Structure 1
Amino acid sequence: MAHPNLQLIQALRDTASRLKSGNHYAWGNHGSCNCGNLLQVVTQLSKEEILTYAQTGIGEWTELAEDYCPTTNAPVNLLINKLEKLGLTPTDIHNIEYLEDREVLNHLEGGFCWLKRNVREDVVAYFEAFANVLEEKLINSIEIPAELFATNNHIVQQLVHA
């Protein structure tokens, strides 16, 4: 699963919001599919620019991510590198494109169900659920030292009684 971080969570939410607002969506187009829309948010590139870069590789985003080589610096590799620096793995990229991560699907509003990879509303639901899963993991990873509670007991008491 992706490395939870604020930038990735916000990028997923921004992508969902843009899709809800009518941003161009076409699953069969590298520049405006699931990953293409996420890349538009992350890179500020247009769908046309992303399509041009993606066509320097062979295959769908799943294959592009699996064949990624960070040393070549080919344009498609720059896009994959951007997604990986954001915290995504090749498996995450595949799952975004096909809406398949069971953990994300288990966190859909209304509970688990299979989604269709080429249905805008399903993509929005997946991005939102993915952001929620990562946010929960990020929050749960925060450790507050016990000393902080002892030295700020009055603040803790105020929070408890609020």
Structure 2
Amino acid sequence: MAKPSEHLIEAFRKTIYKLKHNAPYQWGHMGACNCGNLAQELTKLSKGEIHSFAMQKSGDWNDQLVDYCPTSGYPMDLMISRMIEAGLTIDELKHLETLSDQRILEKIPFERRMKMKKNSKEDVILYMETWLGIIEEAFLKNIEIQLPENKRLKSFA
């Protein structure tokens, strides 16, 4: 699972907020699709810049993730490297584009999950919100583990 950090959590929150408040969404546009919207926050590049970088190589996000080479010098590969540095994996990015990570999907009620479409803005928001919850939970566990025993949060269950 993604390496949780404040930076990654903030990028997810901003992406979700923007998508909920009419950020451009177009699944076939490399800078405005599922990965493209998150990439905007993680890299601070515009949707146009991301799309332009992507057009220097062939294929969609999945194709370019398969062909990813951190030393190629292609702007798209450099951008993917920045997303990996933020804590994501190649597989997670592939799953984001198709809304297919089973660890995330299992947290979504079955009836809703079965109706999800990879190119639906509402479904992308739900997927990202669910994933964000998983990342935040892992982040809090990491903080608790790092605290001295006498400073750890007590369970009220």
Structure 2 CA distance for partners of 1:160 and 1:131, relative to 1, 3 Å: closer
**Aligned counterpart, 2:128:** 127
Identity of aligned residues (%): 37
Aligned to 1:145: 148
- Structure showing greater radius of gyration is 1
Matches within 5 A, 1:10-89: 10-89=10-89
Distance 1:124 1:67 in 2: 27
Q: Which whole-Å deviations, capped at 9, do the CAs of 1:96-117 have from their partners, x for residues lacking one? A: 1001111111223xx2414211
> CA offset at residue 160 of structure 1?
8.7
Q: CA RMSD in A?
A: 2.1
Q: 1:124 to 1:160 in 2, by over 3 A?
A: closer
Alignment: residue pair count: 151
| TM-score when normalising by structure 1 | 0.85
| Separation (CA, whole Å) in 2 of partners of 1:116 and 1:23 | 19
* 5+ long unaligned stretches in structure 1: none
Amino acid corresponding to residue 145 of structure 1 in structure 2: P
List, as ranges, runs of 4+ consecutive aligned residues in structure 1 with deviation greater than 2 Å: none
The question of whether the paired residues in 2 share the 8 Å contact of 1:10 and 1:131 is answered with no
For 2:88 and 2:59, how far apart are their aligned partners in 1? Answer: 19
Distance (Å, rounded) in 2 between the aligned partners of 1:97 and 1:130: 13
Instruction: Say whether the 8 Å CA contact 2:30–2:54 is kept in structure 1.
Output: yes
Q: Match of 2:13, as an amino acid?
A: R
